[in-house]
Amino acid sequence: MPELPDLEVVREFLGRVLPGEVVAGARVARPIVVRDLVSEGASALVGRSVSGVGRWGKYLWIDLGPGMCLTVNPKLAGRLAWYRAGERTRGRPALVIELRSGRELHYLDAKDMGQVYITHRLDEVPGFAEQGPDALDPSLTVETFAARLARFRGEIKGVLTRQEFVAGIGNAYADEILYEARISPFRRRTQLTAAEVERLYEAMRTILSEAVAVLRERVGERIDLEVRDHLRVHGRGGARCSRCGRTISELRARQRITSFCRGCQPGTLVRG
């Protein structure tokens, strides 16, 4: 599932190559993933020039001049793919955007669960405006973070992945952040001390910005690839913890894997 670091490097890359490009053609191959809020279909994009690319949380958007915006929320398995002129394309695209330069941008989705929105305005995109501050937003201070956190209850991992709290963190990076902060994913938010909340904030900033730096090098133009082998705990159940040497634990609940180290992330395990 693409999360903040994955999407941030896509935004950086598209922000370099797309502005000034003009849409020559747009074709919807999998209508189930496209939500057309302008009632003109993908043809509304044709002839428009890209003025910018943005990201907030797990939403990525392409501005196509005044009053037109293409927004992607990839959910479980959505990907954007970028092709140079004449390059052989990969996979089965749900949406194909041909650019006047001969380059192409595709949206692919192996599960058809993500969404692409064609809208006049960004705030028309469902769920967009309800998001909390982006987890890497410079104006999100530790004080704001702690004040927002106090409004949420339940296990801390669940809270971290609530987009209304902070936007951009999903299942994998929540595990990484909690491991870095040495906090068990099953601790309840109300049990956390002020020092732990501060550690959580620092870990969130460190883990996410380090991941962006790693992915920036590793992904390059292949924005359709999901690189995950730099993770230290998520998906590494059974491996040895690089900090304390214990075996990393892995639990599956509600179709999600939670990976953590009982050695460095102590806490009562309330469910097995």
Does residue 223 belong to the site contacting Zn ion (CB under 5 A)? no
Does residue 241 belong to the site contacting Zn ion (CB under 5 A)? yes
Q: Name the segment binding Zn ion (CB under 5 A); options: 63-71, 105-113, 138-146, 254-262.
A: 254-262
Which H helix or E strand runs over 16? helix 4-17
Question: In angstroms, what is the minimal distance from the CB of 241 to Zn ion?
Answer: 3
Structure tokens of 257?
């894997």
- Catalytic residue annotation: 2-3, 58, 256
Q: Which of 243, 249, 250, 251 binds Zn ion (CB under 5 A)?
A: 243
For the chain, give me the number of helices (H) and strands (E)? 5, 11
Q: Which of 267, 250, 272 is nearest to 259 (CA)?
A: 250
Do the strands 78-83 and 93-99 form a parallel or antiparallel pair, or are they unpaired?
unpaired
Question: Cα–Cα distance between 135 and 181 in angstroms, integer?
Answer: 15
Question: Cα–Cα distance between 164 and 127 in angstroms, integer?
Answer: 9
Residue facing Zn ion at closest CB distance: 241
Cβ-based nearer residue to Zn ion, 71 or 259:
259
The site map against Zn ion for 179-218 (x = CB under 5 A) is: ----------------------------------------
Does residue 261 belong to the site contacting Zn ion (CB under 5 A)? yes
Q: Which of 48, 180, 264, 267 binds Zn ion (CB under 5 A)?
A: 264
Does residue 263 belong to the site contacting Zn ion (CB under 5 A)? yes
Residues 55-74 that bind Zn ion (CB under 5 A): none
Q: For residues 118, 122, 126 and 132, what is the CA-based torsion angle, rounded to 10 degrees?
A: 150
Question: In angstroms, what is the minimal distance from the CB of 182 to Zn ion?
Answer: 9
Q: Which of 221, 235, 233 is nearest to 260 (CA)?
A: 233
Question: Cα–Cα distance between 214 and 232 in angstroms, integer?
Answer: 13
Does residue 233 belong to the site contacting Zn ion (CB under 5 A)? no
Contact between 240 and 259 (Cβ < 8 Å): no
Question: In angstroms, what is the minimal distance from the CB of 183 to Zn ion?
Answer: 12
Cβ-based nearer residue to Zn ion, 103 or 236:
236
User: Contact positions toward Zn ion, by CB under 5 A?
Assistant: 241, 243-244, 261, 263-264
